[in-house]
């Protein structure tokens, strides 16, 4: 019976209704990496590391509305993909190093220092195909995407801050006006209850019968 009631209540629940509730729900989902992890995180990557990255962005930028949450998520996703691109670049250079290593003895008479090896690997990686060049352009696009989202987020949060300050000012002015009105009403009431100044207060006396001149004689 209790189980049926639980199911019934669950079926009736449609989630948050207010904009604040929806934003809070979205924020929790983003912070725990539940919204984009299936899209952004590859099968050989860590969803836990992705969730930590997103959570760090949320704690730093503190989004309060759904548009702000989306922008923070976009920034985190761009950063995640950029880190991946950097790992790919390192892997490509490692592959190129492994390929040129056996050829060094045929090109150079003596030992080759590590910087020269890396330079040769970088050159070969660029000349062999367009993978490295495409990867570098990809990193540039991700950096621009991150910056655009960051700039838009800053703009929205500044607007929200100004609106909050304006609302607080209006509220303070309304409270002040209400307090002044109440104070003035109290003064009027007190004035009406006080006796008029300069007027003698009538004194209650017993009536004295008038005596005619004939009675006095």
CA angle 15, 19, 21 (to 5 degrees): 45
Residue 94 belongs to a domain: yes
Beta strands in the chain (DSSP E): none
Residue count of the chain: 217
The pLDDT assigned to 103 comes to 84
Parent domain of 47: 15-176
Q: Spell out the residues 6+ positions from residue 87 whose beta carbon is closer than 8 angstroms to its own.
A: none
The pLDDT assigned to 207 comes to 54
Sign of the alpha-carbon dihedral angle for 38, 42, 43, 46: negative
Residue 39 belongs to a domain: yes
Counting beta carbons within 10 angstroms of the beta carbon of residue 81, is it exposed (0 to 12), middle (13 to 18) or buried (19 or more)?
middle
Cα separation, 173 vs 98, whole angstroms: 73
CA angle 86, 88, 92 (to 5 degrees): 120
The pLDDT assigned to 18 comes to 59
Number of domains making up the chain = 1
Query: pLDDT tens-digit profile of 166-177?
Result: 888 777 777 877
* Mean per-residue pLDDT of the chain: 79
Is residue 15 pLDDT above 80, yes or no? no
* pLDDT (average), residues 82-96: 94
Residue 146 belongs to a domain: yes
Residue 6 belongs to a domain: no
Q: pLDDT-based confidence at 57, cuts 50/70/90?
A: very high
**Structure-model confidence comparison of residues 80 and 35, the more confident one:** 80
Is residue 202 pLDDT above 90, yes or no? no
Residue 157 belongs to a domain: yes
Residue 3 belongs to a domain: no
Residue 215 belongs to a domain: no
Q: Confirm whether pTM is higher than 0.75.
A: no
Is residue 16 pLDDT above 70, yes or no? no
């Amino acid at each position: 019976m209790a189980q049926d009631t639980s199911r019934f209540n669950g079926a009736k629940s449609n989630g948050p209704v207010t904009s604040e509730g929806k934003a809070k729900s979205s924020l929790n989902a983003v912070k725990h990496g539940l919204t984009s992890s299936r899209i952004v995180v590859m099968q050989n990557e860590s969803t836990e590391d992705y969730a930590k990255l997103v959570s760090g962005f949320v704690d730093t930028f503190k989004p309060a509305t759904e548009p702000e949450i989306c922008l923070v998520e976009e920034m985190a996703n761009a950063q995640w993909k950029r880190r991946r691109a950097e790992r790919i670049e390192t892997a490509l250079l490692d592959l190129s190093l492994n390929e040129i290593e056996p050829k060094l003895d045929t090109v150079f008479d003596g030992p080759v220092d590590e910087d020269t090896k890396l330079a040769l690997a970088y050159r070969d990686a660029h000349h062999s195909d367009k993978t490295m060049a495409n990867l570098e352009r990809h990193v540039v696009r991700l950096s621009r995407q991150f910056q655009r989202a960051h700039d838009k987020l800053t703009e929205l949060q500044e607007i929200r801050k100004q609106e909050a300050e304006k609302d607080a000012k209006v509220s303070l002015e309304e409270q002040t006006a209400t307090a002044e009105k109440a104070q003035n009403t109290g003064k009027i009431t007190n004035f009406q209850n006080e006796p008029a100044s300069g007027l003698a207060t009538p004194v209650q006396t017993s009536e004295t019968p008038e005596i005619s001149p004939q009675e006095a004689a």
